[in-house]
Amino acid sequence: MIAKSLAAAAFALLPLAAQAQHAELPTDPAADWSVATSEHRVAVEGGKVWARVNGVIGEGATPVIMIHGGPGGTHLNFGNLISLADQRPVILYDQLDSGMSDHPENPANWKPERFVAELEAIRKELGVERWHVIGHSWGSALALEYAAAYPQHTASAVLSGTFISTPHWITGTNLLIRELPDDVAAAIRACEGPNPPAAVVCEPATAAFYSAFNGRPDRPAPSPEARAYRNRYGGKGFNATVYNAMWGPTEFRASGPLATYDATHLLPRVDGSRVMYVVGQYDEARIDTVQDFVALTPGAELAVVPGGSHAYISERPEVAEAIYRDWMNRIDAREKAE
């Protein structure tokens, strides 16, 4: 669903009262993209989450918050999209037990509704009335759930690399396995069976799947700025414990609580004219599957990133930025006209 390789590719419900430790940071436009205008620690159920803002809330266009994948991923995948802050505040954060946020490692926190409440706590703490929510992979599920629960605070919802249903996802990844060379596909099936072969067989086969659908070999190398940020980030990255507990060991089989997750019933509850789906041409989130979601969301749009996989944000950053920028500008213009 939301691969461990995302973190590598970047180099990939009751509202709660929130408390933050606020630090103002320099905003030199010549500085690299890692410099935030402000950083915050926001109290949520189970601990505090770390958030960063580029821009000033209340100035510019409607803010946007980026919701990372996982479960257990981090904000790193969105680094190149901070360029959107030339028009609007851009908010990045790490979910509880990930990255710079607290790591209580309490399985009681690992449920979708708590992650949705986490978003609302951040909104209230930062003083945002309405925002665009852009989710990627597992973050798409949270973006959809948030938009359905808080339509009054949602200017638009972007469901990128769309995961909103485990049955659809598992069907999709198993269809993609058939597109691989016969020997690779056979190895993956064996590795997912009751008596898997050794890692020397399974690891290359899984890597071949990711190379095709989640981090293609022609992706650009990380910029010096991205590498510098990762170094300063201190290695606080992907949390495999959360991923394995909530999802399972691989993209092809779900064994955790998300094994039965399906949020498609929420699609009729959101304003489809404020929903956009975005997938890569070679995405794990298969285009035909996402087209079915679009059909269930009247008025919604679909954008496909040419040459991109599930990691298209890092593979085709200029295209991703252009798609998101155009979408939010059009929604903002419509709201002004209404």
- Residues forming the active site: 137, 283, 310
Q: Where are the alpha helices (DSSP H) in the chain?
A: 5-9, 112-126, 138-149, 166-177, 182-191, 199-213, 224-232, 240-246, 287-295, 312-315, 317-337
Could you tell me the two tokens for 182? 């016969």
Return the amino acid letter for 325: R
Of 238, 223, 225, 248, residue with least CA distance to 314: 223
Could you tell me the two tokens for 47? 């601990």
Compute the distance between CA of residue 113 and CA of residue 236 in angstroms, rounded to an integer.
24
Neighbour tally for 299: CB within 10 Å: 11
No. of helices (H) and no. of strands (E), the chain: 11, 9
Neighbour tally for 23: CB within 10 Å: 11
b/e 122-135 (16+ beta carbons within 10 angstroms → b): bbebbebeebbbbb
32 strand-pairing partners: none
